[in-house]
Amino acid sequence: MTQSVPATGSEPLSRPSHPRLALRTSLARLSMRPRSMLLLSVVPVLAITVGVVGWLLDWRLGVDSAVYRAGALTLLHGDPLYDASTLAPEPWWALLPFTYPPTAALLFVPLAVVPTQVAWGVLTAISVLAMALVIRVAIGSLPKPAAGPRWWSSPARATLVFSVLMLGLEPVWRTIFLGQINLILMAMVVVDVLVFTARGARGGGILIGIAAAVKLTPLVFVAHLLFTGKRKDALRALVTFLGMQLLMLLLIPDDTIRYWTKTISDTGRIGPVHWAGNQSLNGLMNRITDLAPWASKAAIGISALLAIPAIWLMLRFHRRGQALAALLVTAFFGLLASPISWSHHWVWAVPLVVLLISRLPQTTPATAWRRWLGTGAVIAVFISCVLLVLPNGRNIELHWKFWQGVLGNAYILMPLVLAAVLVARWFLLRRRRVDQTTSG
């Protein structure tokens, strides 16, 4: 039996009872549907095939996955990871510094087994499946409408359709194009929070700890677990993360010490913070202040101020049984507060779009246009590729016109506007109820 909880509006929703059972049931049903399995495997198989062909024809596939693989080979060869701006095993078309924690090099070791292009294909295949997993878990975690089933036919079919359509989002296809690992890390966090932690599994928090060992930004979800009352899971995530750092300290002490004392603060290895691709508050402040020396400190201060309403908003969703919405608040706050959030880091647009589309029918005809407009605007931001169209690079961003600045910071403005609308709507509804109670 489910417990009824209120939604952000007036429509009653019910708390999802057993998300783990829904996921297991979906996987079991999928194994008995050859057609669905074939459709789901088309893109991953194609990616691996392209990787093999690319290896045979010496194509340039996956700049970032080439760096991942080079980091793993460097670790296996016993060479330093951070002494130079490039790594010896990198191909000539992917000469970039290794900017990840030393634990990432260890976790990338499986990529060292295959050629560079094949590594891209394998990583792409896993990323597409990871995105499908995120979509299915997101659907399973949505509160069920009180008035009958959702408008889509079934979660399985919706997952397949969403998985294809989401490939059109700029953060998604750019992640795939570069051979990035963002979709996989997002899947680890989503499964950890919405499946393992939600059911009280003993392994809750471990996936977040591993994800943070690859890129530090998932550490924000440790705070999410802590604020939502999952203290043991938060501790487990921290212990996992710190334990992996200790392991690397034993294996490669020089590289580990160098990373945590010097490399981590060297933003020059990552890229220019004011470049249009950096969709974080740090990037925004550096762009609009013409690289003022205090810009990054101002971004930290703004992030600290935004943390207060972000925690309030996240807890409000959490207490109403809307775990996915609560998780998204934390995810987008992390993207805003991070010193560097490249556009391909914004793959959290995938579960956000699922959430927004799921709520489209749950309104009155008189107000339906608002949700359609809001959902359409969010989708437009992430499919428009506006960051690629606007002039950028070579400090051009510092001279953007006002309208270019608005479009060029669209990813940053989107969650801020969305949160402001939600907060304003809640306060208006609350005031209206108070007035009705007083007049009655």
Per residue, the 3-state secondary structure of the chain, as one string, reads CCCEEECCCCCEEECCCCHHHHHHHHHHHHHCCHHHHHHHHHHHHHHHHHHHHHHHHCCCCCHHHHHHHHHHHHHHHCCCCCCCCCCCCCCCCCCCCCCCCHHHHHHCHHHHHCCHHHHHHHHHHHHHHHHHHHHHHHHHHCCEECCCCCCCCCHHHHHHHHHHHHHHCHHHHHHHHHCCCHHHHHHHHHHHHHHHCCCCCCCCCHHHHHHHHHCCHHHHHHHHHHHCCCHHHHHHHHHHHHHHHHHHHHHCHHHHHHHHHCHHHCHHHCCCCCCCCECCHHHHHHHHCCCCCCHHHHHHHHHHHHHHHHHHHHHHHHHCCCHHHHHHHHHHHHHHHCCCCEHHHHHHHHHHHHHHHHCCCCCCCCCHHHHHHHHHHHHHHHHCCHHHHCCCCCCHHHHCCHHHHHHHCHHHHHHHHHHHHHHHHHHHHHHHHHHHHHHC
pLDDT at position 18, please? 44
Could you tell me the CA-to-CA distances from 87 to 143, 197, 224, 328 in Å, in that order?
48, 38, 36, 36
Written as tens digits, the pLDDT of the chain (440 aa) is 333 333 444 344 444 444 444 556 666 666 666 777 777 788 899 999 999 999 999 999 999 999 999 999 999 999 999 999 999 999 999 999 999 999 999 999 999 999 999 999 999 999 999 999 999 999 989 877 665 566 565 788 888 889 999 999 999 999 999 999 999 999 999 999 999 999 888 899 999 999 999 999 999 999 999 999 999 999 999 999 999 999 999 999 999 999 999 999 887 788 899 999 999 999 999 999 999 999 999 999 999 999 999 999 999 999 999 999 999 999 999 999 999 999 999 999 999 999 999 888 766 666 777 788 889 999 999 999 888 889 988 899 999 999 999 999 999 999 999 999 888 888 887 777 776 777 65
Contact between residue 77 and residue 252 where contact means Cβ atoms under 8 Å apart = no
pLDDT at position 378, please? 94
Token representation of residue 346: 């914004």
Contact between residue 14 and residue 144 where contact means Cβ atoms under 8 Å apart = yes
Beta bridge partner(s), residue 4: 14
- Other CB atoms within a 10 A radius of the CB of residue 205 amount to 28
Could you tell me the end-to-end alpha-carbon distance of the chain, in angstroms, rounded to an integer? 35
Task: Label residue 266 left, alpha or beta by phi (over 0 means left) and psi (-120 to 50 means alpha).
Answer: beta
Going edge to edge, which strands form the sheet with 144-145?
A: 4-6, 12-14, 144-145
Contact between residue 282 and residue 340 where contact means Cβ atoms under 8 Å apart = yes
Beta bridge partner(s), residue 278: 342
Contact between residue 94 and residue 244 where contact means Cβ atoms under 8 Å apart = no
CA nearest to 283, candidates 411, 418, 170: 411
Could you tell me the CA-to-CA distances from 351 to 115, 142, 260, 263, 434 in Å, in that order?
32, 11, 33, 33, 34
Residues in the chain: 440
